[in-house]
């Protein structure tokens, strides 16, 4: 989120919705930091919504003798007692000028009625903290790099997302590490590979990329290397599933699209289109169907349907690589 000013958060309500804890916590920290910047002695109060009994919110937001401005963070808004909802909505209609109220809702249907009424208030600013899809992770990485003042190339952002995985906290930490070592310099994909070589998911995607390109010897070699180094089998099947989704979107995309539009259609970064074009040669609808079934079967096997996960993965690699050359 863009950093708000103290004028944005005081006398208003910041409503954070979604299950991505890292994004939610960052938003809370941003609001608190903005208020503390205006007044280092500002009070901070945090409370679980389930503990907000009748009159509790009024007590938290009543004038204070000890601080001119305050931050009140109410967590797990979905657990707000029904009898306390009217007081919350009443406050939202006329918030105190010297208070920054932050409400954190984990998403889902629980407490939705109160949530919808809060959204309708002119004094409520909603910030989404939804879990990101895999194809959105490179954009998150690029944003983190801009925040840190260390630009990443488009390919580098995608490679970093593949290398580190879907944990946003880990991704942000990886960007901070690069920013510390390459302050102000553009970071390329080769630098990212050097720094994060050996992370589990990048090896899973290396196996998938080789198999989807029909390079069976390389795919099997990468698979054995990955398993030898402790890569979880489920990460390999996940990489195959992701690769097949991108390839299927590429094969079914309208002809004549610009690269930027085609990348959006496929849910990938533009640099990945070169790989998809190479992988797409030799694939037929029948081959795609066989590959998808093979990955689904392997995924079930490594999650307990079969006793030998290594064999299940090797069978998947063989099937996918052969499916590409089917006519």
pLDDT, tens only, 169-201: 878 888 888 888 888 888 998 888 887 765 555
Q: How many residues does the chain have?
A: 327
- What is the rounded average pLDDT of the residues 41-48? 89
User: How many Å apart are CA 288 and CA 48, to the nearest integer?
Assistant: 49
* pLDDT 10s digits, 133-175: 888 899 999 999 998 888 899 889 988 887 777 778 878 888 8
Record the pTM.
0.62
CB 275 within 8 A of CB 209: yes
> CATH 3.20.10.10: does it fit domain 200-324?
no
User: How many Å apart are CA 104 and CA 18, to the nearest integer?
Assistant: 8
User: How many Å apart are CA 302 and CA 77, to the nearest integer?
Assistant: 38
- What is the rounded average pLDDT of the residues 272-292? 86
What's the Cα-to-Cα distance from 13 to each of 9, 24, 31, 81, 137, rounded to whole Å?
A: 7, 14, 10, 19, 28
Where do the domains of the chain lie?
6-128, 134-196, 200-324
Q: Which helix (H) or strand (E) holds 101?
A: strand 99-105
* pLDDT 10s digits, 95-110: 999 999 999 999 888 9
What residues contact 282, with CB distance under 8 A and at least 6 apart? 214, 324, 325
Topology of the domain covering 134-196: Helicase, Ruva Protein; domain 3 (1.10.8)
Question: Following CA atoms 165, 168, 172, 177 in sequence, which dihedral angle do they give, to the nearest 10 degrees?
Answer: -30
* Beta-sheet pairing, 12-17 with 43-48: unpaired
User: How many Å apart are CA 271 and CA 188, to the nearest integer?
Assistant: 13
pLDDT score, position 198? 54
User: How many Å apart are CA 78 and CA 297, to the nearest integer?
Assistant: 38
pLDDT score, position 327? 43
User: How many Å apart are CA 278 and CA 252, to the nearest integer?
Assistant: 15
pLDDT at 268 over 90: no
pLDDT at 325 over 90: no
For the purposes of burial, counting CB atoms within 10 Å of the CB of 122, is it exposed (0-12), middle (13-18) or buried (19 or more)? Answer: exposed
> CATH 3.40.50.300: does it fit domain 6-128?
yes
Radius of gyration of the chain (CA): 25
Range among 62-66, 197-201, 305-309 with highest mean pLDDT value: 305-309
User: How many Å apart are CA 147 and CA 283, to the nearest integer?
Assistant: 41
């Amino acid at each position: 989120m863009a950093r708000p000013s103290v004028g944005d958060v005081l006398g208003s309500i910041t409503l954070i919705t979604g299950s991505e804890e890292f994004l939610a916590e960052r938003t809370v920290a941003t609001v608190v930091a903005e208020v503390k910047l205006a007044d280092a002695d500002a009070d901070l109060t945090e409370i679980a919504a389930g503990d907000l009994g009748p009159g509790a919110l009024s007590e938290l937001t009543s004038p204070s003798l000890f601080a001119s401005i305050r931050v009140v963070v109410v967590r797990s808004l979905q657990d707000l007692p029904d009898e306390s909802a009217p007081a919350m909505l009443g406050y939202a209609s006329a918030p105190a000028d010297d208070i920054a109220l932050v409400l954190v809702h984990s998403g889902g249907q629980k407490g939705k009625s109160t949530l919808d009424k809060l959204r309708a208030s002119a004094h409520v600013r909603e910030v989404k903290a939804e879990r990101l899809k895999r194809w959105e992770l490179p954009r998150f990485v690029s944003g983190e790099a801009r925040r840190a003042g260390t630009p990443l190339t488009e390919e580098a952002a995608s490679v970093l997302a593949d290398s580190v995985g879907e944990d946003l906290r880990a991704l942000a930490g990886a960007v901070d590490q690069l920013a510390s070592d390459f302050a102000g310099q553009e970071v390329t994909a080769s630098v990212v590979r050097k720094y994060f070589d050996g992370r589990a998911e990048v090896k899973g995607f290396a196996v998938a990329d080789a198999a989807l390109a029909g390079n069976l010897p390389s795919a099997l070699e990468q698979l054995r290397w990955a398993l030898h180094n402790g890569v979880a089998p489920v990460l390999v099947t996940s990489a195959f599933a992701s690769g097949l989704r991108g390839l299927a979107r590429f094969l079914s995309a309208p002809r004549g699209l610009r690269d930027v539009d085609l990348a959006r259609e496929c849910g990938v970064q533009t640099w990945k289109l070169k790989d998809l074009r190479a992988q797409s040669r030799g694939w037929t609808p029948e081959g795609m169907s066989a590959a998808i079934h093979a990955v689904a079967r392997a995924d079930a096997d490594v999650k307990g349907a079969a006793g030998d996960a290594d064999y299940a993965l090797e069978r998947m690699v063989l099937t996918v690589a052969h499916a590409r050359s089917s006519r």
